[in-house]
Chain A
Amino acid sequence: MLKRVHFPPSLLPYLLVAPQVLITLVFFIWPASQALYQSFLIEDAFGLSSEFVWFENFTLLWDDQIYIDTFWRTAFFSVAVAVLSMSTALILAGFAERVVRGAMVYRTLLIWPYAVAPVLAGALWVFMFNPTLGIFPYFLEFVGVNWNHYLNGGQAMSLVILVAAWKQVAYNFLFYLAAMQSIPKTVIEAAAIDGAGPIKRFTTIILPLISPTTFFLLVINAVYAFFDTFGIVHAITQGGPANATTILVYKVFSDGFVGLDLGGSAAQSVILMVLVISMTVVQFRFVERRVEY
């Protein structure tokens, strides 16, 4: 933590940490405590006065069927995104690991979507799936599917999941490939000599050995799906149709900035903060264990 040898005490260290600490206090701690405070207030309809109501905003959310639905929708969304993007990445990494020459070329061609902003990813896909113009609805019509994600909630949700997963495959692929490449070749060769084919080796040796990575990616993907997908939803569906794609982060935004329900939005923020904190704790616990492994 601290060096055995260090500089003599002076004013300098305070000056060195000052910028970081100041910015943290002004733009992180203060707003977060404001959110916490506001979550205990209810404003009247004109925003003139506010009343301290303790946990009423939270109980209102608890009783609000729309919020409960949003909660479960978000859970479903993140599980779907994690499963889809992780399994795709696992398959691609499994094959890429076999390639002797050109593995790096495949890696280059597969990792760049990491750099695409979520809202841009949304724009790309919403163009391909534009109900009147898009390529995919045009072809889907031949198989009898009438695509319109502006009207069909299920289709809207599938599209948002697809885009979120597409963007995250790159990240998962990179970590899976690194994990597989760190497995000693001797283990794989020994299994091959014992007569295990590629599929058998993958399921009984590679998969168990990379399980720490799988768990790590599960947490990362959940955090990603919860917090980094705002742009995708905003570009593609704006939460619609009929709230079919409203996830928690989107609801904080739309209740706070569009609906101007400050107390309710703040209470939702606090719930999200609790979620981030617990995910971070899980992640840190795991990272510690990974070091031992």
Chain B
Amino acid sequence: MVEQRPFVTVLTHLVLVLGVIAIALPVWITFVAASHDEIRMVQTPLPLWPGTHLWENLTQTLFGTGLSGTQTAPVWLMLTNSLAMAMMIAVGKIAISLLSAFAIVYFKFPFRMACFWLIFITLMLPVEVRILPTFEVVANLGMLNSYWGLSIPLIASATATFMFRQVFLTIPDEMLESARIDGAGPMRFFWDILLPLSRTNIAALFVILFIYGWNQYLWPLLITTDPSMTTIVMSIKQMLEAAEQSPQWNIIMMTALLAMLPPILVVIAMQKLFVQGLTETDK
């Protein structure tokens, strides 16, 4: 701040607090809804202050049979599925991007640039614009209703490859020279020098990719028909549809809360890495 203006200072905090409230309001309402019982949640006006049924709703949501009159997997299973999918996507993307960036930066081989441009193209083909034929490929490979089908088609990554390429290019050539004089082969160099040097970049990217993986919606919606493969994020839509018959909003909103909690916690707990990842990966 360059000058003392009490009025502007008060206004600043006022606007920011209002902004925070406006941004947080939907989550507050969700939290309140998840802490009341079923009967309270069908009476208008709906409560704005938390009730006493939070724990009860939590256990019923996690281990119960879902909404009455619907056939859904228990929520703990959906959370497990989401975690598996998010981890496979994040780790898979990082692993294959590290390897291909290493090859492109440290080796000279025919078709190097062809590989580079091939990877580059994936940036321009988001899953939304090629859903039908990609679905057919996955169906033909027999990968419907499996963790492989959920994750592998999404793990090619141009952004991650570019980011690691950028990181590797900043590593001084002397590193490689001295490693080679000491008799290190390519993979030894990769494990003992490149990986440790790009540790924070990997962590930052992991935060972004975990959120990306966890929040996948359209893709799991298409390729999972077996209720035991449902992810938590896609279950919300099914619950919203079921809400017309059985409006158990306390359970629905508790599920929504559980679905968004892990990625939000990741952002808040690893804020520094998150910000770094977001600004670095941005194409």
Contacts and interface: CB of A to CB of B under 8 A. Distances in A.
Contacts of A257: 131-132, 222
Contacts of A88: 19
Interface residues of B, number: 104
B132 A262 contact: yes
B87 interface: no
Contacts of B25: 128
Interface string A17-46: 101110111111111101100100000000
Given A34-B136, A138-B46, A98 B8 contact: yes
Given A31-B136, A115-B211, A256 B233 contact: no
| Chain A residues touching B, range | 35 or more
Contacts of A252: 128-129, 131
23 contacts: A9-B108, A12-B103, A13-B107, A16-B99, A17-B100, A19-B99, A19-B100, A20-B156, A20-B157, A30-B137, A35-B133, A95-B11, A95-B16, A99-B16, A109-B23, A117-B214, A117-B217, A123-B240, A127-B249, A133-B46, A230-B218, A277-B124, A287-B283
A28 B122 contact: yes
Interface in B103-139: 103-109, 112, 115, 118-119, 121-126, 128-134, 136-138
Contacts of B2: 185, 188-189, 192
B256 A124 contact: yes
Given A109-B24, A230-B128, A273-B125, A26 B137 contact: yes
Nearest 9 pairs of A and B residues by beta carbon: A31-B133, A117-B215, A16-B103, A115-B263, A13-B107, A34-B133, A124-B26, A13-B103, A27-B153
A23 B156 contact: yes
Interface in B178-224: 180, 186-187, 211, 214-215, 217-218, 222
Interface string B264-280: 10111001001100110
Interface string B239-279: 01000000101001100100110011011100100110011
Interface stretch (A53-61, A67-75, A76-84, A264-272): A264-272
Given A32-B130, A120-B259, A7 B267 contact: no
Nearest to B82: A117
B4 to A, nearest CB: 11
Contacts of B217: 117-119, 230-231, 234
Interface in A92-146: 92, 95-96, 98-100, 106-121, 123-128, 132-135, 138
